[in-house]
A and B are shown apart, each in its own frame.
Chain A
Amino acid sequence: MLSRVANAVYWICRYVERAENVARFISVNLNLLLDTPLDARLQWEPMIAITGDQKAFQVLHREYSQKNVVHFLTFERSNPNSIISCLQAARENARSVREVISSEMWEQLNRFYIELKEAEHSGFAHNDPQKFFLMIKMRSHMFSGLLYSTMSHGEAWHFARMGMMIERADKVSRILDVKYFMLLPKPDAVGSPHDNIQWAAVLKSASAHDMYRKIFHRITPVQVAGFLIFDANFPRSVRHAVNNAFESLGKITGSTNGDARSGAEKHLGRLLADLNYSDIQEVMEAGLHEYLDALQGRLNHIGLEISSAFFRPAPLEAAAQPRSDLQFFSEQNQTMPKETAK
């Protein structure tokens, strides 16, 4: 298939997944707020600090209020990672490959974007945020449902799924990183009821609460981290996502097990082996943050290798510039306006 098309399909799914994760990221904070006595300001400022967007934020807003932060992460068009920017980029990419994806996928994505644009003016996101972000999640689920059930599972589909999975692995690890960073600095609070509520909120933000409970019954930070990174069967765990991405990459290149044909395959395979053959105890010994940071670095590197193996011939390229070690967002592709001709 055309490199440009593979690139677009891959990025449609990354952007939709990214939008969903921003919604999840905000949701977890909203969940926490319901149960914590913390000063709201203290809850919202880190959301921006973590994305490294303080400067851009401060140009637009003075106060780290819920309203401002939610607006910045949801509707701010100058923020390339806001939900609306992601959706717009996904839709622009989809518009350029409408002949490749199913009409159902396009129509749903188009409706999703139009709905979001309407919500921008209706105040829905601020008046009923829980419902609003649930809606974003559900629309994104619907999109992946359509991806699975209306598009042939051929090469283009595997690029799509690979994009979705790499984005998911990255964002789940970042949500975990951020929350660990925010929740743990108070050793005396570990194990308190308050702490449990917080970690339950983290699980809920990954839709993992019920599945986690079936295995571990009780909530502990280490087990929550272990579940979100290493669980073999949970569809939003890092390991599961990396496994799917690896499978799709193999289908694209046609390599059989152990026969890596590109740097992307080699490194993705190695990452998967590491996830398969280590556990949370090992991670905690080395330090969770250090581990997650390295994981994100590896995913980033793999993203670049995928781009150079399959997309590089086309000028529409992914540019990854890691900014800070606690950065929520990584790569993005660029949909540059091109010269038009009648």
Chain B
Amino acid sequence: MDLSAYQLEGFYDELFAKPDQPNPGAELLIEKIKSLSEEDLISKQKAAEIMLLQMGITFAVYGNEAGAEKIFPFDIIPRIVDGKEWSQIEAGLKQRIFALNAFIDDVYHDKKILKDRVVPEDVVFSSKTFRRECEGFSPPKNIWCHVTGTDLVRDSDGAFYVLEDNLRCPSGVSYVLENRQVLKRTFPQVFDASHVRPVDDYPNRLLDTLEYLVPEHIVSPVIGVLTPGTYNSAYFEHSFLARQMGVELVEGQDLVVHDGFVHMRTTKGLEKIDVLYRRMDDDFIDPLAFRSDSVLGVPGLMEVYKAGRLAMANAPGTGVADDKVIYAYVPKIIKYYTGEDPILPNVPTYICSDPKEQEYVLKNLDKLVVKAANESGGYGMLIGPHASAAEREKFAGLIKQNPRNYMAQPTLALSRTPTIIDRAIEGRHVDLRPYILYGKDIYVLPGGLTRVALRKNSLVVNSSQGGGSKDTWVVDAGE
């Protein structure tokens, strides 16, 4: 495959320092791709897709026929991160998650950070994901955010920035593990020779994290992954994680509160469950505590949880740190709880509830990305430079109507990486979502999910908006 025509077009590239000059760590891969014929490369891509479909690694598509599934588009050319650079990311994420957890614990207890006016009180209390029900409650070991997926992007200067924190039910880690399985078979020799850090340990680490929540007197705890069911878009992942950990996969209908504990309905009667890794939002877990119209949850679950007879990951209430306006304060939050400067910077953020910043945002809508505070999956978002005048006007109205719910950021020139498009290789924009587990200590999965915007010039990497994924190799070059 001839790569001489591959152009960087002024963007930071994940595999190339200059045209035809691979980054350290990527040389072997580039050499391999060059040695393949176009036909070979395309057939490797096809083989990988067939493998994913046959393994049933699919996601359900909303609004389609019931149970319709697609494979998450996958590109076989991995994204490579140098080991030294990764160490920085890892340290930055550990620092950030530690601080966010301290923040959540604080806002539900003493509220010191609010009293010290580091974060405005009303921003926290007006957050949709702030749960009054959790005030005064202490989860086991005071850990709230057991599993986090933090989205990172690289700007044209080559530096990594935190784009957002996903502390509620971040998904995608199963694709990291399965993509790796597929790529090992796609580029076996290159993989072998590149010293890629392994990701396969994740399910064990997750299990350790969940077991850590159980009081010591329970010797063999019963653990379950709580899923909304087979029609949820991330169902594959719920099932995958339960299988990898060897724990139960339960739906709301499988659980019942009885005698002050949560039980599973089994063929031999009721059986107590000790820990739930729940993969549904707070809103749905308990119709008695939150949304009463939820048919997915378990009535009475929260009461058992608050009595300490059931542990849950992530803890209800964690979402407060997921609010995109609170995000703007995270650098201050880090400084407040650790005394350190943030290792990983935020993307500069304008808060629309601040009159001055709002004015700037409204004047510069054509240059900014606007996000709603509590949306995810690329919904409720405006990308100014790519939007029509009418769309911008609509968002200007929304911002004026409910300024608390919006923030804006400059449009970044996201880094790109070589990607197979039709039968050629072209640069496409990517982000990176590493996964962080908070148990006995904080663990960062080396690599994470690289999401790629397959449409030319697109900056939206979400799977619901035409994004795909890639394997991410953390490579210790020169070893």
Contacts of A95 in B (CB 8 A): 56, 67, 230, 235, 239
Which partner residue on chain B sits nearest A99 by CB separation? Answer: B243
Q: Is the CB of A340 within 8 A of B229?
A: yes
Q: Evaluate whether A1 and B254 lie within 8 angstroms (CB atoms) in the complex, with A99-B242, A340-B229 already known.
A: no
With contact pairs A99-B243, A106-B56, A340-B62 given, residues A3 and B231 touching in the complex (Cβ less than 8 Å)? no
The reply on B424 being an interface residue by CB < 8 A is no
Q: A2-B250, A341-B232, A341-B284 are in contact. Are A92 and B67 (CB under 8 A)?
A: yes
- Interface digits, A299-342 against B, CB 8 Å rule (1 contact, 0 not)? 00000000000110111100000000000000000000111111
Question: B249 and A341: CB pair below 8 A?
Answer: no
A338–B250 CB distance below 8 A: no
**Which A residue's beta carbon lies closest to that of B464?**
A342
**Contact yes or no, B229 A98, CB < 8 A:** no
User: Nearest A residue to B168 by beta-carbon distance?
Assistant: A342
Q: Which 9 A-B pairs have the closest CB atoms?
A: A99-B243, A313-B265, A99-B242, A337-B66, A340-B231, A310-B267, A98-B239, A3-B265, A341-B228
Q: Does B421 contact A (CB under 8 A)?
A: no
Q: Does A201 sit within 8 A of B, measured CB to CB?
A: no
Which of A61-69, A107-115, A164-172, A270-278 is the contact stretch? A107-115
Contact residues in A for B233 (Cβ distance below 8 Å):
340, 342
- Taking Cβ atoms with an 8 Å cutoff, the residues of A that contact B are 1-4, 6, 88, 92, 95-99, 103, 106-107, 110-111, 114, 155, 159, 252, 310-311, 313-316, 337-342
Question: Residue B281 at the A interface, CB < 8 A?
Answer: yes
Number of contact residues on B: which range applies? Answer: 35 or more
27 residue pairs from A and B, CB less than 8 Å apart: A2-B250, A2-B267, A6-B267, A95-B67, A96-B239, A97-B249, A99-B242, A99-B249, A103-B55, A107-B55, A107-B56, A110-B56, A114-B53, A310-B267, A314-B254, A314-B265, A315-B253, A338-B230, A340-B62, A340-B228, A340-B232, A340-B233, A341-B284, A341-B294, A341-B296, A342-B233, A342-B377
What is the minimal beta-carbon distance from A116 to any residue of chain B, in angstroms?
A: 14
B264 within 8 A of A: yes
A92-B230, A314-B254, A342-B377 known; A3-B56 Cβ under 8 A: no
On whether the beta carbons of A338 and B265 are closer than 8 Å, the reply is no
Tell which of B53, B229, B243, B267 touches A338, judged by Cβ atoms closer than 8 Å: B229
Chain B proximity of A85: nearest CB distance (Å): 12
- Chain A residues near B251: list those with CB within 8 A: 4
Given A107-B56, A110-B56, A340-B232: A3 touches B242 (CB 8 Å cut-off): no
Taken together as a complex, chains A and B put the C-alpha atoms of A235 and B265 apart, in Å, by 34
A4-B254 contact given A98-B243, A313-B265, CB 8 Å threshold: yes
CA gap between A99 and B225 in the complex, in Å: 11
Tell me, in angstroms, the Cα distance from A106 to B55 when the chains sit together.
8
Which residue of chain A has the shortest Cβ distance to B376 in the bound complex? A342
Chain A CB within 8 A of B295 CB: yes
Q: What residues on A are CB-neighbors of B250 within 8 Å?
A: 2
Q: Are B267 and A155 in contact (CB under 8 A)?
A: yes
CA distance in complex: A1, B248 (Å): 9
Would you give the 0/1 interface string for B232-257, flagging 1 where the beta carbon is closer than 8 Å to chain A? 11010001101100001111011000
Residues of A within 8 A of B228 (CB): 338, 340-341
Q: Which residue of A lies closest to B224 (CB)?
A: A2
Nearest Cβ on chain B to A45's Cβ, whole angstroms: 32
Residues on the B chain within 8 Å of A338, using CB:
228-231, 295-296
A107 & B54 in contact (Cβ 8 Å cutoff): yes
| Residue in B closest to A93 when the chains form the complex, CB atoms | B230
Cα A171 to Cα B231 in complex, Å, equals 31
Residues of B within 8 A of A339 (CB): 231, 295-296
Whether A2 pairs with B230 at a CB distance below 8 angstroms is no
Give the residue among B56, B231, B284 with the most A Cβ atoms within 10 A: B56
Chain B minimum-CB-distance residue to A96 = B230
B37 to chain A, nearest CB (A): 28
CB distance from A118 to the nearest CB of B (A): 12
A1 and B55 contacting across the interface, CB-CB below 8 Å: no
- Most chain B Cβ neighbours within 10 Å, of A1, A2, A114: A2
Does B267 contact A252, Cβ atoms closer than 8 Å?
yes
- Cα-based distance from A92 to B253 in the complex (angstroms): 17
Bound-state Cα–Cα, A161 to B111, Å? 58
The complex places the Cα of A315 from the Cα of B254 at a distance, in Å, of: 9
Q: Min CB distance, A299 to chain B, in Å?
A: 20
Residue of B nearest to A7 (CB): B267
When C-beta atoms are compared, the residue in chain A nearest to B69 turns out to be A95
- The complex places the Cα of A95 from the Cα of B251 at a distance, in Å, of 13
- Asked if B1 lies at the interface with its beta carbon under 8 angstroms from chain A, I say no
Bound: A99/B174 CA distance, A: 14
Known contacts A98-B243, A99-B249, A252-B267, A3 near B232 by CB under 8 Å: no
Chain B nearest CB: distance from A245 CB in Å? 16
Q: Which residues of A contact B280 (CB under 8 A)?
A: 341
Besides A88-B67, A342-B377, 10 other A-B contacts (C-beta < 8 A):
A2-B248, A4-B265, A96-B230, A98-B239, A98-B240, A98-B243, A159-B267, A314-B253, A341-B228, A342-B233
Restricting to B53-94, which residues have a CB under 8 Å from any CB of A? Answer: 53-56, 60, 62, 66-67
A8 to chain B, nearest CB (A): 10
A3 pairs with B267, CB closer than 8 A: yes
The closest CB in chain B to the CB of A101 belongs to B243
Q: Is the CB of A341 within 8 A of B254?
A: no
